[in-house]
Amino acid sequence: MGNLVYHAKNNAMYQRPHTIKEIKKNYPDKAEELLNDRVHLWRAETGIELIHKEPIIQEQERIWKNWNEMSDEMKRKSDAKSVELFGKDNTSHNEEIMRKWGKV
């Protein structure tokens, strides 16, 4: 099943972020930049989604949906990292980002 994790409670599939190895393989031209970014590195190391500003709205919506499909434990870990990096939990951060996109 690769990087998909099925959660029976909400009948959804969580797709973990790419690992470091996958980033290097799939994005050779951008791998160094991505892995020097603390958000992308943490996601790659932990396999946990973390809300951050994406370059296009479709990707922003995808990571929010993906974040919502994580287990409660993963969400707690992600929220703790979000507070550490951004000073707010993922829900608040997503709302702020979506306002900037004009979607809230």
Burial of 71 (C-beta count, 10 Å sphere; 0-12/13-18/19+): middle
Q: What pLDDT, on a 0 to 100 scale, did the predictor assign at position 1?
A: 35
* Beta carbons within 8 Å of 43's beta carbon, 6+ residues apart: 17, 18, 49, 50
Q: How many residues does the chain have?
A: 104
In sequence order, which ranges of 10-104 are alpha helices (DSSP H)? 20-26, 31-35, 38-46, 57-68, 72-86, 90-100
pTM: 0.84
Tens-place pLDDT, residues 38-97: 999 999 999 999 999 999 999 999 999 999 999 999 999 999 999 999 999 999 999 999
Tens-place pLDDT, residues 60-72: 999 999 999 999 9
